[in-house]
Structure 1
Amino acid sequence: MAIHRARTNVDPVSNTPPIPDADRVVSGEDWYGRDLSGRTFDRYSFIDTDWTEVVNEGGVFDHCTFANVQFNASRHTAAAFTNCTFRNCTFFDVAFTDCKMVGSLFQRSTYTLFEVTGGDWSFVGFPGARLPEAAFDKVRMREADLTAACLENARLTGVDLSGAMLHSAKLGGADLRGSDLSALDPLTVELRGATIDLGQAATIATALGLTVA
């Protein structure tokens, strides 16, 4: 059954991060450079934790909460973060490769040199996120919530955005070649300066009510 996330331009969060299980809280710890490969965390809360230069290959995080976590220079490969919440986190020089992020929600976080290659990010929520110059390549992002997200000068190449929520998204200067833009309404999205291919041009023209002959 498909999951339909409500479209919103407001980030409805409280100042207190939710704690799925009070007995599974990691708070104020320094995990600098740790290798979390192959480990499993279910319903954990990571609060005010330093994940700088963490290595994570095949780690599994399910229904976890990350609040004020620094992911700087961390590397995640074939890992899973399913139905997780990332709030007030810092992503600087972070790379996700072939990761599964289905159903996760990103709120009030910062993204610099944010790179995603492959993997399944369907139903992920980035409402209002500022992701300028981020890179998404060959990523599955079906029904992702990118409402009011800023993706100016970003690279979204070969991305499956079918059913994605793109209302009020800013895609000026973005490279969108090879991505599924069937859910894009050009009247509600900023596209000036974006790079598209001929097939996408036909899709956008059709969305504008034009006949492509």
Structure 2
Amino acid sequence: MPIRPVRANVDPVSNEPPIPDERLVVRDEDWYGRDLSGGRYARHSFLDTDWTEVTTQGAVFDECTFAGVRFNASRHAGAAFTNCTFRGCTFFDTQFSDCKLVGSLFQRSTFTLFKVSGGDWSFVGLPGADLRQATFENVRMREADLTAARLEKAILTGSDLSGAMLRGSKLSGADLRGSDLSSLDPLTVELGGAMIDLEQAAVIATALGLRVR
């Protein structure tokens, strides 16, 4: 039995793309405005495909690879993108509502007017991602990898960041109110001008070795 190659979202250090099954490859196609709601895709590879204004309500994508895909103005509601890899993709005015992206990895992608509301993004890999002014509201992001991510002026409210990797992230001017910051080490991130609530202030003070009374 052939040995299955290590997928990038299992080994985020590797830049080697997974070997696609040609029977499951969608390449250089224009899917502009398609409604993929309710569809199911497993181990498909979408390469250099235009997903502008695509909708995926309730669709399921498992262990899929998206490389060079344009997700501009696409809308995803109640969809699942589990253990997927997004490489070199464009997310302009893209919205995810109550979606499940557990275990997925984003590499060398761009995010502009990017908005996520609700859903489960636990174990998602976004290391070094430029998420300036992005919005994450009420999102479960347990053990998400946000190492060295740029989150200046981002909205990251009411979200579960327990166990998240935040070392080297830039959170200046970000709105963090209501989010779980228990795994944040204030000495390893940039927090200037970030908005937090009183409970979070106590958590950060404790992390700095201060006693709050």
TM-score normalized by the length of structure 1: 0.93
Q: 3-state SS of the aligned residue for 1:41?
A: strand
CA shift, 1:23, in A, is 1.5
RMSD of aligned alpha carbons? 1.5
| Aligned equivalents of 2:10, 2:36: Cα separation in 1 | 33
The one-letter amino acid of 2:15's match is: V
1:1-20 deviation digits (Å, cap 9, x = unpaired): xxxx9998xx5414xx3234
The 1-side partners of 2:143 and 2:62 are apart by 20
Runs (4+) off by over 6 Å: 5-8
> Equivalent residues in 2 for 1:20-99 (5 A)?
20-99=20-99
Aligned to 2:122: 122
Using the TM superposition, give the Cα deviation of residue 193 of structure 1 relative to its aligned residue in structure 2, in angstroms: 0.5
Matching of residue 199 in structure 1 with residue 189 in structure 2: no
AA paired with 1:130?
D
User: What amino acid does structure 2 have at the position aligned with 1:111?
Assistant: F
Aligned to 2:210, what secondary structure does the other structure show? coil
Any unmatched runs of 5+ in structure 1?
none
| 2:15 is equivalent to residue 13 of structure 1 | yes
Distance of 1:142 and 1:19 partners within structure 2 = 29
Q: Which residue of 1 aligns with 2:6?
A: none
Q: Report the Cα distance in structure 1 between the residues aligned to 2:156 and 2:122, rounded to whole angstroms.
A: 14
Q: Equivalent residue for 2:174?
A: 174
* C-alpha distance in 2 between matches for 1:196 and 1:70: 34
CA deviations 1:69-114 (Å, max 9, x no partner) are 0000000000000000000000000000000000000000000000
Alignment of 1:145-160 (within 5 A): 145-160=145-160
Take 1:123 and 1:23, find their aligned partners in 2: how far apart are those partners?
29
Q: How many residues align?
A: 205
The amino acid of 1:155's aligned partner reads: I
Structure 2 Cα separation of the partners of residues 183 and 126 of structure 1: 16
Give the TM-score of the pair, scaled to structure 2. 0.93
**Structure with larger RCO (C-alpha < 8 A, sep 6+):** 1
Cα deviation per residue 1:16-49 (whole Å; 9 max; x = unaligned)?
A: x323423200000000000000000000000000
Letter in 2 for 1:73: A
